[in-house]
Amino acid sequence: ETGKTFIAFVTDYRLEEAKILLRDSDWTINAIAGFLGYKTPSYFRKIFSERLHMTPVQYRDYVRHEKADDF
């Protein structure tokens, strides 16, 4: 129904959850990767970077900077 493969659907879901955790928690990248079911943090970073064109740390810095500018 989504037009995506199962793997693509799960990956998209995991990355959306990762974005929320990166924005709203102080969990480490390793903790987020493990929580979302990635076997290694390096693989999580690779997939995140390929899809979002920035590392998880860069994303966290970006969204927190944007959030701070809203106040």
For range 54-60, the mean pLDDT: 98
Q: Specify the pTM.
A: 0.87
Q: Report which DSSP code applies to 18.
A: H
Could you tell me the two tokens for 15?
A: 């990355």
Six-digit token string for 25: 């928690």
List the one residue out of 68, 24, 14, 8 whose CA is nearest residue 45.
14
Residue 54's pLDDT band (cuts 50, 70, 90): very high
Confidence class of residue 7 from pLDDT cuts 50, 70 and 90?
Answer: very high
Tokens 């480490």 identify what position? 28
